[in-house]
Amino acid sequence: MTKHIGKQTVQFAVPPVILSTGTAVGPYEAAGPLGDYFDTKHVDPLAGAASFEKAERQMLLDACLTALHKINATPAQMQFLLAGDLLNQIITSGFAALELTIPFFGIYGACSTAVEGLTLGSMILDGGFGERVLAATSSHNSTAERQFRYPTEYGTQRKPSSQWTVTGAGAALLGSSGLGPRITYATVGKVVDMACNDPLNLGAAMAPAAVDTLSAHFNDTGLQPLDYDLILTGDLGKVGHELAIQWMKDTQGLDLSKNYQDCGMLIYDLDDPRVGSGGSGCGCFASVVYGYVYQQLLRGNLKKVLLVATGAMHSPLSCQQGENIPCVAQAISLEM
């Protein structure tokens, strides 16, 4: 029997389980509204390392080792590690994999990497190719800013539509059986280009991809927005969140306003002018979902959630060449 339903969705015959999670964040994130939900809270953005890039690597390792420790597992018990990040050639994930010595798949979906990892990991488990998989991702404000925009020392003025890259990492340990939230559906997104070319307004660039994947999910499954306790996008921020609600209503006639939130709007105090439209980066979705959302599921406050991680598939080189910013969104359904 095929597990592929509709045009873009997979329904897992034996839904994989998220057995544990681990999160690590910087001081700014730890002081935010969700600070109590994070496992490791670094008081220094450098995390005791010699550079911000090495600090990000340490945070990714912290998240992975925490997820393993929570169920008394070791790296040797994992069949695969699926990880990616924002830095050139996903160096954070590669160097972390070197230390973990787990068979490694390096993946890249920009800020949608967390759900890409969960989807591919679930396919591995449901296909019988393993019993335990670790999926992880990370970002760091000071590494991403100087790669994609300006060095932090430059002190450039930020636009209201700009977002603050989250310094944080998250890991999820997936099992073919056990106790925890089950991944029941995965809707794989298509790359969408709506002719946005402003890297300082990624919420507007990514919102159409989120709507495209949400539409595919509802069309493929026959579900409606209110079938979920929570629909959560990764890092659209205030600008993208508002656009997604409007575009979904205009194009599909579906109302997201009653149960839809965005990780980028939850992780920081939006009254702080530094964060602009909200949080962004791979670590935004990973830290919010593997910290706050996962704990709400375990406590019974949420029963069924639809998670949509969004990613801008641009690079410094593509922006320098005047290219638009193509985007993608990946979705999974979690149920207790």
- From CA 112, how far away is CA 187, in angstroms rounded? 12
Q: Which of 88-102, 152-166, 296-310 has the lowest mean pLDDT?
A: 152-166
pLDDT at 297 over 90: yes
Q: Which among 144, 175, 206 is the end of a domain?
A: 175
152/239 same-domain check: no
Given a contact cutoff of 8 angstroms between Cβ atoms, the answer to whether 23 and 15 are in contact is: no
81/211 same-domain check: no
- Per the rule left: phi > 0, alpha: psi between -120 and 50, beta: everything else, 222 is left
243/271 same-domain check: yes
Q: Which among 109, 142, 175 is the end of a domain?
A: 175
Average confidence score pLDDT of the chain: 92
Quote the domain boundaries for residue 35: 4-175
118/186 same-domain check: no
Given a contact cutoff of 8 angstroms between Cβ atoms, the answer to whether 99 and 268 are in contact is: no
Q: Which among 145, 175, 205 is the end of a domain?
A: 175
135: nearest Cα among 51, 268, 16, 13: 16
190/148 same-domain check: no
Supply φ then ψ for residue 127, to 5 degrees: -80, -5
Q: Kindly indicate the confidence band of residue 1, based on its pLDDT and cuts at 50, 70 and 90.
A: low
258/312 same-domain check: yes
Share of the chain above pLDDT 90, in %: 81
Q: Tokens 């679930």 map to which residue?
A: 122
170/194 same-domain check: no
52/119 same-domain check: yes
Looking at residue 277, its pLDDT comes to 83
50/96 same-domain check: yes
| Residue-wise pLDDT tens digits, 237-265 | 999 999 999 999 999 999 999 999 999 99
232/248 same-domain check: yes
Q: Which of 4-13, 70-79, 201-210, 239-248 has the lowest mean pLDDT?
A: 201-210
- From CA 222, how far away is CA 158, in angstroms rounded? 42
Q: Which of 64-73, 92-101, 145-154 has the lowest mean pLDDT?
A: 145-154
- 111 is written with which tokens? 């800020």
110/90 same-domain check: yes
Q: What is the mean pLDDT of residues 314-324?
A: 80
What pTM did the predictor assign?
0.94
Q: Which of 6-15, 21-30, 160-169, 288-297 has the lowest mean pLDDT?
A: 160-169
Given a contact cutoff of 8 angstroms between Cβ atoms, the answer to whether 278 and 164 are in contact is: yes
| Residue-wise pLDDT tens digits, 131-188 | 999 999 999 988 877 666 555 654 566 666 677 889 999 999 999 999 999 999 999 9
State how many domains the chain has: 2
pLDDT at 197 over 80: no
10/157 same-domain check: yes
What's the CATH code of the domain at 197?
Answer: 3.40.47.40
